[in-house]
Amino acid sequence: AVPARADRAAVELVLENLLDNAIKYTEPGGWIEVRFSSDPAHVCVEVADTGIGIPEAHRSRIFERFYRVDRGRSRALGGTGLGLSIVNNLLGEMGGEVSLQSSPGVGSIFRFTLPRA
């Protein structure tokens, strides 16, 4: 185990939000994977999926409060548009960062880093 300088409850909420989105937007038969790694300064976590992906035009705004890529689909699945904003804010408060790689129809990888303890 590699210790991170972080609040346990906040990290649990970050993972809960990222996994909830991965589950919501990955069709049956797809996969979701959580990967952990570290470097000398950071602990890194990736949540990858074969979900619907996020179009490039929306990626710059995906961490804004109440922003949704597809408002109709998000409402049908119970989304409020707050989850990724919460993720971004919590990680920022702990000195971490979140990033996104995504391709529509292929899937997404949300990667976050936290400082090592």
Spatial separation of the C-alpha atoms in residues 91 and 43, rounded to whole Å: 12
pLDDT recorded at residue 67: 79
CATH of residue 51's domain is 3.30.565.10
- Mean pLDDT computed over 28-49: 98
**Residue 39 counted as domain residue:** yes
Q: Given the structure tokens 């090592």, which residue do they identify?
A: 116
**Residue 84 counted as domain residue:** yes
**Residue 27 counted as domain residue:** yes
Residue 34: C-alpha distances to residues 24, 44, 75, 108, 114 (Å): 16, 11, 26, 12, 16
Write out pLDDT tens, residues 53-96: 999 989 888 988 887 776 555 545 566 788 999 999 999 999 99
Q: Given the structure tokens 């989304």, which residue do they identify?
A: 79
**Residue 3 counted as domain residue:** no
Host domain of residue 51: 8-115
pLDDT recorded at residue 64: 87
**Residue 1 counted as domain residue:** no
Spatial separation of the C-alpha atoms in residues 22 and 108, rounded to whole Å: 8
Model pTM score: 0.89
pLDDT recorded at residue 45: 98
**What is the count of structural domains for the chain?**
1
Weakest-pLDDT range from 2-6, 39-43, 66-70: 66-70
